[in-house]
A and B are shown apart, each in its own frame.
Chain A
Amino acid sequence: MIQIIGIVGAAFVIAIAYAIFKVLRFVDIIKRPAKSEVPSDNNTSALLLLIFVILFLFGFWWYFFYASPDLLPVSASAHGEETDQLFRIAMGVILIPFTLLNILLFYAAYRFRYKKGTFARFYPHNNKLEVIWTVVPGLVFAVLILMGTNVWSRITTAPPENAEVINIMGYQFAWGVRYPGADDTLGSHDYRLADAVNQFGMDLSDPSSFDDFMPLEIHLPKGKPVLLNIFAKDVIHSVFLPHFRLKMDAVPGMPTRFWFTPKYTTEEMREMVGNPEFNYEMACTEICGTGHFAMRMVVVVDEPEAYEEWKASQLTWLKMNPEYLAKIPENLQEIARIKSGIEQLPAIVAK
């Protein structure tokens, strides 16, 4: 690798030295002022422009198909299928003018290169043409906007009542994920309650918190709407789930949210991409500090039954950090022990 750079670099230095040598000679020969004249290599330049556009577009389209397999697999969320479809349409719409206009531009340059004895055409304007190429792009853009607003409004509508609610909090440099536990209600949190262990700032005077759990992996049920409530503890982060075509900033002091419906389980996706090691991943896409590039978390989509089993098997946060019991107000101690599963009392099962 380094060698290749070295070779390329050396080739460059030689080329430049050679060019400089030529310039010096050139200048010595011609001392009188230059005159307005046509460059002697005009036809060469014109031809090169034509060759360039051919190679460029050929290379572009070749790579377009060559690289496709390296892109992300089909969207793993329902709304992502719509945005992918829209992306394909919009791409189709822009690739046509991309190809045609580049050809037209370079071809025009080639075809109308200087020819001795000819004059350029004095053609300062044509209102009809100008109206056409204002209106036509306008109409195309209007159609794209309509399709876009349509999808956008569906993505951003209020989440369905039955959505699984999960809290995510970004902090330097990891994610905290909080599930509601058996009572299906998430407890509150407050940044002033945070400390090195209680990263989330879980409010332990809120009984709903007692059975909440914070796993090291996100699990999601297939086919059920999921609502992510997104928070940030220190600086702005951004939840990015590329396989689900999902992104939303996590902003300190301003909760945000995004709801979506996972479509394929991790197993199904592994089969589809033919890679038994495949995992859904979550990344951070808002610069947040030195560890920004490493805020990875694995996401697992389960069949709904498996998801419920997984949920039931999770230990509550309080059980994993029993020293925090001491911070719970006296009158809630009992219920906290029970809800968190620290004490088993079959008579008063939570909820």
Chain B
Amino acid sequence: MSIADIQIAPTPEHHQHDDHSLNFWTKYIFSTDHKVIGKQFLIMGIFWAIIGGLLSVLIRIQLGMPESNLAWLEPILGKWIVDGKLDPGFYLGTVTMHGTIMMFLVLTAGLSGTFSNFLIPLQIGARDMASPFMNMLSFWFYMLSSVLFFVSFFVESGPAMGGWTVYPPLSAIPQAISGSGLGMTLYIIGFILFIVSTLMGGLNYITTVINLRTKGMSMARMPLTVWALFLTAVIATLSFPVLFAALLLLFFDRSFGTSFYLSEIYIAGEALPNMGGSPVLYQHLFWFLGHPEVYIIFLPALGLTSEIVATHARKPIFGYKAMILSMAGIVVLSFVVWAHHMFTSGMNPFLGTAFMVTTLAIAIPSAIKVFNYITTLWGGNIRFTAAMLFSIGLISFIISGGLTGIILGNAPLDIHLHDTYFVVAHFHLVMGVLAFFGTFAGVYHWFPKMFGRMMHEGLGKLHFWITLTGSYLMFIPMHYMGYAGYPRRYYSFTNFEYMNNFIDLNWFISVAAIVTASAQLIFLFNFFYSIWRGKKAPANPWGSNSLEWTTEKVVPGHGNWEGDIPEVYRWPYDYSKPGAKEDFIPQTVSLTETIESNTDYENQRLIQLKKEITNTQNN
């Protein structure tokens, strides 16, 4: 007699109406199904990644091949190409939009949006999100914001040009730069819609995780993926509203003559009337989101990786509790480190000391995570699938990119390094490339669940090797340029004598960037080809423990499970348990079926449970 027999069976819900009442529009476009919404976020994320990637290639052509004639771009860029040269204002627009697109439209919406939507209900055993309708709205607000960002490329005065941080006064005064005209207005409205989308999504993820877990799925049995996505949503819902406020005030300063951020400005031949505002106030508000945002990008990638590393190493994740605690530590600390971006902003030096301490404190949980990953691999029986390879790459990027954070977090060192290529190198490794690797790993791993087919592993590996090598070749050298004093957001390095020594290196980085960017075509082909022509996927292709692989159909329909939602009896990391028949025991297998592999503690629990049950039956 298994435990399941004894517990009261949940009343079967009716899910027979599955898909039949849905037409094309309600099924694929205005869908409230979390899986479809997840895929919608993925497709849009890919779209934006292509644009963001093309912009980075443009940046690199400008910096690495400054002599080249760009007249061939005229059909696309029009008046922004002057005599075969890129317009310096448009260069700044390119940098700004590249950063914004990558950070928000790709690695926030595209990463969290895809995997929170797709995985949370499937991994905790829910039929859908807590509020499927709000979930749909979340995607459509993202679409609206996408449209505004996209349109801003085509307005006469160009897209926003103030850097992704859009510090006022530069972003507040149209006379300061052409991008601060209509382009900036679209940017602010687009961003505000984006925040609305993120908040609706985030609240949904949080309520779903708290309320809709299936029977037996205690918080302490959730896969680390769900933990990471959940904690990410917590960070996002607490920090994005502050950016909302900051942008609203910026909007007022721009459009209604207020002076929140403006004071004592003389520009384009006239003194502005604004008095009493503070540009540094904006920086504090901005970075109150801006730093947590880094973790909004970082944590989901690590969450996906945790699951993938355990599955493909056939080994439980090492230090499950420590992993959760360190993520929780990151959540709390991420709110008290923001001013490490402002060591040279003129704020009180005492703040510098305080934020230096909190910043190095937040490095500790990240260090713990690295050690735990390596220990998870140690003693494993590793299968190098494309997903696994990308996860290993990701761990390498936490190491290589994370360590330079210890340098930048040290205020006296940041004096020299702030706003140089050292920073660009650091955040690309630890945030940009890292999160892309997490996303790729996630796509290769969950593709069979999304589309019922496998991606081609060989192409996946080719994609991995080029991307891994290329990423290091691009970003390791940038540290040297940064230490040598090359400032970021520079149109060219030709005006300074001290910046004439890395010409070859700049060229080299650009070639690496172009090669790496082209290698993403392999992924695109593999992805779209496999959707229709990939090998048919089995139910549980990786021999994984978590709930999403237990659905009756390989690609679950509306409501996910056709019958009852399965019950959960154990944590998701029972891989290679001694004594077990197979090297994995899904969460749905009850302890009574695995007496031979149970730990002593588990068997004692069983005996105790049985006693309790016999007692209640005798009464």
Q: Chain A contacts of B169 at CB under 8 A?
A: 234-236, 252
Contact present for A144 and B410 (CB under 8 Å): yes
Q: How far is the CA of A68 from the CA of B537 in the complex (A)?
A: 52
Contact present for A293 and B498 (CB under 8 Å): no
> 12 extra interchain contacts, Cβ-Cβ under 8 A, other than A23-B529, A90-B413, A123-B379?
A35-B538, A52-B465, A86-B413, A97-B399, A121-B380, A129-B371, A152-B356, A235-B170, A249-B346, A252-B169, A254-B279, A292-B490
Contact present for B385 and A287 (CB under 8 Å): no
Contact present for B374 and A94 (CB under 8 Å): no
Q: Chain B contacts of A159 at CB under 8 A?
A: none
In the complex, whether B265 has a CB less than 8 A from a CB of chain A is: yes
Contact present for B468 and A52 (CB under 8 Å): yes
In the complex, whether B71 has a CB less than 8 A from a CB of chain A is: no
Q: Chain A contacts of B578 at CB under 8 A?
A: 119, 122
Query: 1/0 per position for A253-265, CB-CB distance to B under 8 A?
Result: 1101000000000
In the complex, whether A222 has a CB less than 8 A from a CB of chain B is: no
In the complex, whether B472 has a CB less than 8 A from a CB of chain A is: yes
Say yes or no: A2-B403 contact (C-beta < 8 A), given A39-B383, A122-B576, A253-B263. no
- A26: contacting residue among B278, B456, B495, B577, CB under 8 A: B456
- A8: contacting residue among B353, B515, B542, CB under 8 A: B515
Q: Chain B contacts of A56 at CB under 8 A?
A: 472
| Residues of chain B having any CB pair with chain A under 8 Å | 65, 67-68, 87-89, 92, 162-163, 167, 169-170, 173, 176-177, 262-267, 269, 271, 275-280, 313-322, 344-346, 349, 352-353, 356-357, 360-361, 363-364, 367-368, 370-375, 377-385, 389, 392, 395-396, 399-400, 403-404, 406-407, 410-413, 415-416, 418-420, 454, 456-459, 461-462, 465, 468-469, 472, 476-477, 480, 483-485, 487-493, 495-498, 501-502, 505, 507, 511, 514-515, 518-519, 521-522, 525-526, 529, 533-538, 540-543, 573, 575-578, 583
Say yes or no: A233-B265 contact (C-beta < 8 A), given A141-B360, A148-B411. yes
Say yes or no: A72-B485 contact (C-beta < 8 A), given A83-B416, A192-B266. yes
Contact present for A145 and B360 (CB under 8 Å): yes
Contact present for B353 and A149 (CB under 8 Å): yes
Contact present for A287 and B92 (CB under 8 Å): yes
Q: Chain B contacts of A58 at CB under 8 A?
A: none
Contact present for A144 and B384 (CB under 8 Å): no
Say yes or no: A38-B399 contact (C-beta < 8 A), given A109-B377, A122-B315. no
Q: Chain B contacts of A253 at CB under 8 A?
A: 262-265, 275-279
- A289: contacting residue among B176, B367, B396, B495, CB under 8 A: B176
Say yes or no: A294-B495 contact (C-beta < 8 A), given A5-B514, A32-B536, A253-B265. yes
Say yes or no: A251-B413 contact (C-beta < 8 A), given A108-B377, A144-B406, A234-B266. no
Q: How far is the CA of A311 from the CA of B348 in the complex (A)?
A: 33
Contact present for B357 and A118 (CB under 8 Å): no
| Residues of chain A having any CB pair with chain B under 8 Å | 1-2, 4-5, 8-9, 12, 15-16, 19-20, 22-23, 26-27, 30, 32-36, 38-39, 41-42, 45-46, 48-49, 52, 56, 60, 63, 67, 70-72, 79-80, 82-83, 86-87, 90-91, 93-94, 97-98, 101-102, 104-106, 108-109, 112-115, 118-126, 129-130, 133-134, 137-138, 141-142, 144-145, 148-149, 151-153, 155-156, 171-172, 191-192, 194-196, 201, 230, 233-236, 238, 240, 242-243, 245-249, 251-254, 256, 277-279, 281, 283-294, 296
